[in-house]
Amino acid sequence: MEKILVSRLRKMVPAVCWNDYPITADSLKLFDFQRIELVSEPYGDMDAYEARPDVWHLGRIRFLSENGWNDPIRLDTSMDGEVFIEDGNHRYMAAVLSNCEYIECSFSGLCNVLDYLQGRIETVEVNQDEEDEFTFIKDSVVSLIERWSRKNIKMRFTAQERINHFLRELKYIGQI
């Protein structure tokens, strides 16, 4: 479980979309939430997703912003650094509406993106050129190892040994 800055997530995921209608942090300010009925039931089955009217989603956001939530959102990234909210769009928008500084998340993806979301680095740079893929992977591994070191996770090998091993594995499976 990771703790990330909502302001940084807003830069990477400026809007969520239900029924082809994007909701941004700025558009949240346009709604009179006191007139929107609270929705306490969790979203549930993805098959029902399209059937929910926009006002239902706004009611869910209102409910969460007023009552809070316990479970983290779930984030992932593409290889080019794009962030996806796999689960937790309503919680994310509720955090924005409530002006939360941080939100808990379960994160899978690029370590440098997580470092950015946590405020450890100021910008995210992702190499998209195929010739730079080797450097990009190595930098991602270095970032991960540095995070492990900060969390005092014991390692049997030095950082450079781990990087070399990881790169040998990638070469073996044909990824580089």
> What residues does each domain of the chain span?
2-117, 130-172
Does the pLDDT of residue 73 top 90, yes or no?
A: yes
What is the maximum alpha-carbon separation in the chain?
60
Phi/psi at 98 (nearest 5 deg)?
-85, 0
130: amino acid identity, one letter: E
Q: What is the pLDDT of residue 30?
A: 80
Q: In degrees to the nearest 10, what's the CA dihedral of 133, 10, 38, 53?
A: -60
> CA 19 to CA 125: how far, in whole Å?
32
CA angle, residues 156, 173, 112, in degrees to nearest 5: 60
Q: What is the pLDDT of residue 78?
A: 84
Does the pLDDT of residue 88 top 80, yes or no?
A: yes
CA angle, residues 108, 52, 24, in degrees to nearest 5: 55
Q: What is the pLDDT of residue 128?
A: 52
Q: In degrees to the nearest 10, what's the CA dihedral of 76, 82, 86, 92?
A: 110
Q: What is the pLDDT of residue 131?
A: 47
For the chain, percent of residues with pLDDT exceeding 90: 40
Q: Note the pLDDT tens digit of each residue in 115-168.
A: 999 999 999 876 555 445 555 555 655 665 555 555 554 545 555 565 665 566
Nearest to 75 by CA among 23, 31, 118: 118
Cβ atoms of 85 and 73 within 8 Å: the answer is yes
Q: What is the pLDDT of residue 168?
A: 61
Q: Where are the alpha helices (DSSP H) in 13-152?
A: 25-28, 54-67, 89-97, 111-117, 133-150
- The pLDDT of 44-58, averaged and rounded, is 70
